[in-house]
Amino acid sequence: MRKVTSKNKVNNPNIKKENKDITSVENQLSQMFKDHDRVLASLLGQVTQGISPAALLYAFADWLLHLSISPGKQFYLCHKAYKKYLTLINFMKDFILGKAEFPCIDPLPQDKRFADETWRHWPFNVFYQSFLLVQQWWWNATTDVSGVSQHHIEIVTFIVRQILDMASPSNFIMTNPEVLAKTYETQGTNLVQGFLNYLEDRKLERCHELPNGAENHLPGESVAITPGKVVFQNDLIELIQYFPMTEKVYKEPILIVPAWIMKYYILDLSPHNSLVRHLVQEGHTVFIISWKNPSRQDENLGLNDYMKLGVLEAIQAVEKITGQQQMHAVGYCLGGTILAITKAYLARCKDNRLKTLTLLATQTDFLEPGELGLFIDESQITFLENYMWSKGYLDASNLSGAFQILNSKDLIFSKNVQTYLLGERQVMTDLMAWNADKTRLPYKMHSEYLRKLYLHNQLALGKYEVEGENITLYDITTPIFCVATSRDHVAPWRSVYKIHLLTKSEITFVLTNGGHNAGIISEPNHPGRHYQATTRFHHENYIDPEVWERQTSISKGSWWSMWSNWLKKHSSQNLHMPPSMGTKEEPYQAKMAAPGQYVHMRT
């Protein structure tokens, strides 16, 4: 009998095929079990709105375990609790005796829940004073615990604050004097109207319709009505060119890249506060990108696809239509981030078509992204990826829910009190209606955005890869006009300020009052607007943001006027006739009227 050697076994094609089949089966089983986990995470994510319960439990376990082995901190908290108890008792005693002239604790300056005079009356003053004391004690309990990671401290503090805001006496009928007074005055009709408001809102939400009042601010009817044409369209963008409003225009056109998190017409709202109309009236040829609202078919679109199919295609179109080899580029929020990536890529390729950059509320360094960073860690991103996997995109409701949670006191609880307890609808403004016109985010793009930018900060570290090579913002040498807003929960101004550390360009930095949206939509003659601004030239040293804020004088009015002068300064001074609307041939032939089709794609 012939003996089979080990060498023959290794070279036996049947054995190789058998081993390959076994490996294939094992891989299929592994993938199947992973898919089961993803399905479970997806179902759980619908309950938690995409927030990882594991990440929260891990943070609270870290805090609680370190607190349990910190007897000094425990005694300190007991001391604080006893002291606050005595403070409240003394306040109640002095109030009864008529000696309490001032409350024992004041709300934070931004907390307007207890501003009404009725909160000064018994027993409501006790309700809100005890709430503020408890809120202050919990802040002491969740901070300064030795050994707890800073990220976990921020998560625990944030979640406890959300729970306390839910339990605020302002949220309940019997502990809110304003609601009780309104109920007495209207004999309860405010509660009836509030209940009807609640039913109407839930119906609109189930039917995926715009909220009450938004029908008065529809794109193409009362907003997004600056005259223009769609001059280019692909599977990701529509490019809109606007009709000139002056006899002659500046040579360099302006390309605006808005964020695809929301619809583009944040920059073209009503005629009086439209940034697009303002630029056109100033004598500029303006183009803007309108992003497609992605669906399941777009799940594999990545961040670099948004650069290539979006920004680079738009640059090519503007160049072909106007015949100009240089243009001004403007990016807002995430649109500014992808514009900065594009400019760094073009700088590596020695392409100077973007003459200047304007970045509005744009982060390029994500090391300190503010409270959005609470949702950024490996556990949270993996959970969110699994949640998006089942649909192929991040649902708009999850996205808007995350932003609302960041300012839940004003955007959720105070709004609910007004709408459902007082029975009063907020007057729907164009900005509020735009904010309700939600969009989705494709699976791959959102995953890459969170991992590459937020989690690993690749752009700031020079490790972001395009076409197999790393790009760096340090290669950018064109002038930059950078705007940040003082009350920005999405792109905190100190994070935006870090652009000074990443590029050697001349940077004009502006800090304006307002939030992420309202601070940007800051038209001239807007009441109460002011800003701080300086220019950092090539040879000047870096200034810390805290020092910069103290040293920089405040100017009254809108930063739009300053920006207009900056654009004119960096434009050719010889005005000429406006270019044609699109070209005579495809693919840049003028098609439908603005605002186009993509803006009407609903969730």
Q: What is the pLDDT of residue 13?
A: 66
Assess whether pLDDT exceeds 80 at residue 7. Answer: no
pLDDT recorded at residue 14:
65
Average pLDDT on 225-254 reads 97
Using alpha carbons, select from 508, 568, 574 the residue that is nearest to residue 538. 508
Q: What is the mean pLDDT of residues 178-200?
A: 96
The reported pLDDT for the residue numbered 578 is 96
* C-alpha 4: how far from chain center: 68
Does 73 have pLDDT greater than 70?
yes
In terms of pLDDT, which residue wins out, 62 or 398? 62
> Residues of the chain with pLDDT > 70: what percent?
90
- Cis-peptide, bond into residue 227, ω within 30° of zero: no
pLDDT band at 209 (very low <50, low <70, confident <90, very high): confident
- From the candidates 78, 333, 349, 482, which is the catalytic residue? 333
Cis ω before 123 (30° cut-off from 0): yes
Indicate the helix (H) or strand (E) that contains 564. Answer: helix 559-569
Residue 128's H or E segment, with its range, is helix 124-142
Confidence tier at 377 by pLDDT (50, 70, 90): confident
CB 531 within 8 A of CB 511: yes
DSSP per-residue letters across 177-210: HHHHHHHHHHTTHHHHHHHHHHHHHHHHHHTTPP
Model pLDDT for residues 100-131, shown as the tens digit of each residue: 778 899 998 888 899 999 999 999 999 999 99
Instruction: Tell me: pLDDT of 17 over 70.
Output: no
Residues 317, 327: Cα–Cα separation, whole Å: 12
Q: At what angle do helices 53-68 and 378-389 cross, to 10 degrees?
A: 160
Cα(350)–Cα(475) distance, rounded to whole angstroms?
10
Judge whether 207 counts as a catalytic residue: no
- For the cut 60, the answer to whether the pLDDT of residue 401 exceeds it is no
pLDDT band for position 410 (cuts 50, 70, 90) = low
Asked if the model's pLDDT at residue 251 lies above 90, the reply is yes
Q: How far apart are CA 536 and CA 135, in angstroms?
A: 42
pLDDT beyond 90 at 536: yes
Percent pLDDT > 90 in the chain is 72
Section 431-454 average pLDDT: 92
Tell which wins on pLDDT, 281 or 27: 281
Confidence category of residue 406, pLDDT binned at 50, 70, 90: low
As a whole number of angstroms, the distance between CA 32 and CA 184 comes to 61
Model confidence at 394, pLDDT cuts 50, 70, 90, reads confident
Q: What local confidence, expressed as pLDDT, does residue 77 receive?
A: 97
Instruction: Share the mean pLDDT of the chain.
Output: 90
User: If you ran DSSP here, which 8-state letter would residue 111 be given?
Assistant: -
| Banded pLDDT at 146 (limits 50, 70, 90) | very high
Q: What are phi and psi of 589, to 5 degrees?
A: -80, 135
Tell me the mean pLDDT in the region 583-588.
Answer: 92
Distance between CA atoms of residues 222 and 214, nearest Å = 11
Give yes or no for residue 2 having a pLDDT over 60.
no
Q: Give the residue-averaged pLDDT of 363-368.
A: 94
Instruction: Provide the pLDDT for residue 140.
Output: 96
Q: What is the dihedral of CA 256, 491, 403, 398, to 10 degrees?
A: 60
Say which range, 401-405, 451-455, 554-558, has the weakest mean pLDDT. 401-405
pLDDT at 502 over 60: yes
**Which one is predicted more confidently, 99 or 200?**
200
- Pick the more confident residue, 545 or 373: 545
Q: Which residues contact 259 (CB under 8 A, 6 or more apart)?
A: 332, 333, 334, 335, 336
List the Cα angle 428/487/491 in 5-degree steps: 100
| pLDDT given for residue 414 in this prediction | 87
Stated pTM of the model? 0.89
pLDDT per residue as tens digits for the range 24-54: 667 777 666 676 777 777 777 666 767 788 8
pLDDT of residue 116: 92
Between 578 and 382, the higher pLDDT residue? 578
Question: Residues 6 or more apart from 29 whose CB is under 8 A from it?
Answer: none
The pLDDT, as a whole number, for residue 100 is 77
